[in-house]
């Protein structure tokens, strides 16, 4: 699949129609909260861990058929056993990563809290493959066909330490100062419209508390707003899904893959980006079509 990807800068190849230039629509496959593990379902939380393997297989088949430009999973790729075992967890990660890599194009990852529930962050990164130059990076950016994409990592405790082998409070996520400074610089250097991916929610879930949001979510939002370049943020973590618009930026939380019994209870989508049109979501299974307005 022909794509143009680079760190911080990229080349855009517009298509041409008779008499006028038409910007090419960029199409991105997204899915989140896969939580794959070879274990029995948790009926209380409605999580069918083992079924995620087939659900991801279906998603990849659809993305290959529709020839999207790249595929990105937005965190919580794998889960763990009960009780947790490191070698088992690594086998779950290998199995689900193999399914994702069957996509015929670039694959990218966003880190979620469950990715470090019985592994270190370095272990997880060592066992996944991001397209191009992004292996071993937990936050990064790239450009593709006139858009700039930023992947953030909020899997830190408020003291700035990494989430590590389950030794963290998932309700106290944090984006540390060093990453925020990198974000400011990265946004300043691009002249392209920006799309952000992060596992944790930067907007409110409209539930009694905002435990799905980093404790400094407002600070992150302010940086995005100050840049004047960010069109939308795509998120996971809150399995029910959510959508909001804050100060001109759309925040879209995709529903979880792992929730629900049977192939009909799956969630994935294709995002269509074109500067001349609103952002469009083409949803599959339980995810509905949507236009960002």
Asked if the model's pLDDT at residue 175 lies above 60, the reply is yes
Residues 6+ apart with CB under 8 A from 161: none
| 237/261 Cα distance (integer angstroms) | 19
Mean pLDDT to the nearest integer, 49-74: 99
The predicted pLDDT at position 7 comes to 36
Q: State the pLDDT at residue 206.
A: 67
Q: What is the pLDDT of residues 176-202, one digit of tens each?
A: 999 999 999 999 999 999 999 999 999
pLDDT at 23: 66
pLDDT digits (tens, 9 = 90+) for 80-135: 999 999 999 999 999 999 999 999 999 999 999 999 999 999 999 999 999 987 77
Q: What is the DSSP letter of 211?
A: T
Q: Compute the distance between CA of residue 24 and CA of residue 184 in angstroms, rounded to an integer.
A: 28
Q: Which two tokens stand for residue 280?
A: 């469009």
Q: What is the set of domains in the chain, with CATH numbers? A: 15-291 (3.60.21.10)
pTM assigned to the model: 0.91
Residue (of 170, 197, 37, 31) closest to 113 by Cα position: 170
């Amino acid at each position: 699949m022909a794509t143009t990807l680079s760190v911080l800068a990229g080349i855009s190849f517009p298509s041409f129609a008779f008499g006028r230039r038409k910007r090419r629509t960029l199409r991105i496959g997204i899915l989140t909260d896969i939580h794959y593990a070879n274990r029995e379902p948790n009926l209380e939380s409605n999580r069918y861990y083992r079924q995620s393997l087939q659900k991801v297989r279906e998603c990849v088949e659809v993305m290959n058929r529709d020839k999207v430009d790249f595929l990105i999973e937005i965190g919580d790729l794998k889960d763990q056993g009960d009780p947790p075992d490191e070698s088992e967890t690594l086998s779950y990660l290998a199995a689900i990563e193999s399914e994702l890599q069957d996509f015929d194009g670039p694959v990218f990852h966003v880190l979620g809290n469950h990715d470090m529930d019985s592994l270190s962050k370095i272990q997880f990164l060592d066992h996944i493959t991001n397209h191009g130059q992004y292996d071993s990076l937990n936050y990064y950016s790239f450009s593709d066909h006139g858009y700039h994409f930023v992947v953030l990592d909020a899997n830190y405790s408020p003291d700035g330490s990494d989430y590590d082998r389950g030794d963290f409070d998932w309700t106290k996520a944090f984006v540390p100062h060093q990453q925020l400074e990198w974000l400011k610089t990265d946004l300043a250097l691009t002249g392209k419209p920006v799309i952000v991916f992060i596992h944790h929610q930067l907007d409110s879930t409209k539930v009694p508390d905002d435990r799905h949001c980093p404790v400094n979510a407002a600070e992150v939002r302010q940086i995005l707003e100050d840049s004047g370049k960010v069109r939308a943020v795509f998120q996971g973590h809150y399995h029910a899904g959510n959508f909001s618009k804050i100060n001109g930026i759309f925040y879209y939380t995709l529903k979880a893959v792992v929730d629900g019994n049977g192939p009909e209870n799956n969630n994935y989508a294709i995002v269509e980006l074109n500067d001349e049109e609103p952002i469009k979501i083409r949803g599959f299974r339980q995810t509905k079509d949507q236009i960002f307005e």
